[in-house]
Amino acid sequence: MIEGLLGKKIGMTHLFASEAKVVPVTVLEVGPCVVTQVRTQARDGYEAVQLGYGNAKLLNKPALGHLSKAESRSRHLREFKADDTSGLEVGQEFTVSQFQPGDLVDVVSTTKGRGFQGGMRRWGFKGGKATHGQGDRGRAVGSIGAGTDPGRVLKGKKMPGHMGDKRKTIKRLRVELVDTDRNLLMVRGPVPGSRNTMVMVRYAHGAPIADRVLAEEIVQNDEPVEILEAVEEETPEAAVAEESAATEAVEEETPEAAVAEESAATEA
């Protein structure tokens, strides 16, 4: 089993976890991916596998030569770490069947490109006041630095510029459904990018198995439960019967019995 696979984003929909709970999911088409190159410790200094995904219409000669052994015309190539590459061969194919519902995965994608944007849209700045004499500072970023000291704009200052079209990783998304017939993987929550954006799905570090996820949820939701023993409720009829039984068990002392007891004590 390798660390992850390549695919593309199809869109978003929702699933019904129960009659009263709706789960938003992102549909990803994952695989099939072809092994185009195997990296070994002896030859390359590290263990990894290069996977190819998609079908390119045009390829240059170097790409055709590289993909000739795998008999593939893959459009996208990415490397994934592998602990053991002894069982991997060029041309071997991997599908979405290696994922299971309940697995936690990290999804790497490219965000939507927004072009050049101002500080309010790019960074969520509040903007200036609409009154009190301002004329053109309503959407300005305001002050960008101090005066004499340091006397410059610090690196990393949030300012207008190009927004989006960047690599972004969404971590620990739960796999809700796997459709092996159509190579579809549904993960909970949103994934960056527009439709048909290439994505890289890999196991979240520390939780590659569904059983581990379920155990983790049980620990998080484990609350102390107070166990109560079943106690029969006392009915009015039972209370009356119990009281009459107690009355019969204890004999009441009559005046005649008291006189007889006193006379017996005197004779003695």
Q: Which residues does 206 contact at the CB level (< 8 Å), separation at least 6?
A: none
Same domain membership, residue 90 and residue 25: yes
Same domain membership, residue 105 and residue 56: yes
Model confidence over 156-181: pLDDT tens digits? 999 999 999 999 999 999 999 999 99
Same domain membership, residue 192 and residue 121: no
| Residue 131 is assigned to a structural domain of this protein | yes
Q: Does the pLDDT at position 263 exceed 80?
A: no
| Residue 214 is assigned to a structural domain of this protein | no
| Residue 128 is assigned to a structural domain of this protein | yes
Model confidence over 202-257: pLDDT tens digits? 999 765 455 444 434 433 443 433 333 434 455 666 666 666 666 655 455 566 66
CATH of the domain at 110: 2.40.30.10
**Beta bridge pairs of residue 106:** 202
Same domain membership, residue 67 and residue 170: yes
Say which range, 16-25, 29-38, 187-196, 250-259, has the weakest mean pLDDT: 250-259
Split into its structural domains, the chain has a count of 2
Residue of higher predicted confidence among 1 and 162: 162
Q: What is the 3-state secondary structure (H, E, C) of the chain?
A: CCCEEEEEEEEEEEEEEECCEEEEEEEEEECCEEEEEEECHHHHCCCEEEEEECCCCCCCHHHHHHHCCCCCCCCEEEEEECCCCCCCCCCCEECHHHCCCCCEEEEEEECCCCEEECHHHHHCCCCCCCCCCCCCCCCCCCCCCCCCCCCCCCCCCCCCEEECCCEEEEEEEEEEEEECCCCEEEEECCCCCCCCCEEEEEECCCCCCHHHHHHHHHHHCCCCCCCCCCCCCCCHHHHHHHHHHHHHHCCCCCHHHHHHHHHHHHHC
Q: 52 phi and psi, to 5 degrees?
A: -115, 145
Select from 128, 144, 163 the last residue of a domain: 163
Same domain membership, residue 105 and residue 172: yes
Instruction: Give the pLDDT confidence score for residue 227 in this predicted structure.
Output: 33
What separation, in Å, do the N-terminal and C-terminal C-alpha atoms of the chain show?
Answer: 103
Same domain membership, residue 16 and residue 133: no
And the tokens for 203?
Answer: 């196991």
pTM beyond 0.85: no
pLDDT band (50, 70, 90) for residue 19 = confident
Q: 263 phi and psi, to 5 degrees?
A: -65, -40
And the tokens for 6?
Answer: 């390549």
Q: Which residues does 207 contact at the CB level (< 8 Å), separation at least 6?
A: 103, 104, 172, 213, 216
- Report, as an integer, the average pLDDT of 104-122: 96
| Residue 138 is assigned to a structural domain of this protein | yes
Same domain membership, residue 176 and residue 85: yes
Same domain membership, residue 186 and residue 142: no
How many residues comprise the chain?
Answer: 268
| Residue 224 is assigned to a structural domain of this protein | no
| Residue 37 is assigned to a structural domain of this protein | yes
Same domain membership, residue 151 and residue 23: no
Select from 163, 198, 231 the last residue of a domain: 163
Same domain membership, residue 110 and residue 193: yes
| Residue 195 is assigned to a structural domain of this protein | yes
Same domain membership, residue 99 and residue 35: yes
| Residue 185 is assigned to a structural domain of this protein | yes
- Which range of residues forms the domain containing residue 148? 116-163
Same domain membership, residue 203 and residue 76: yes
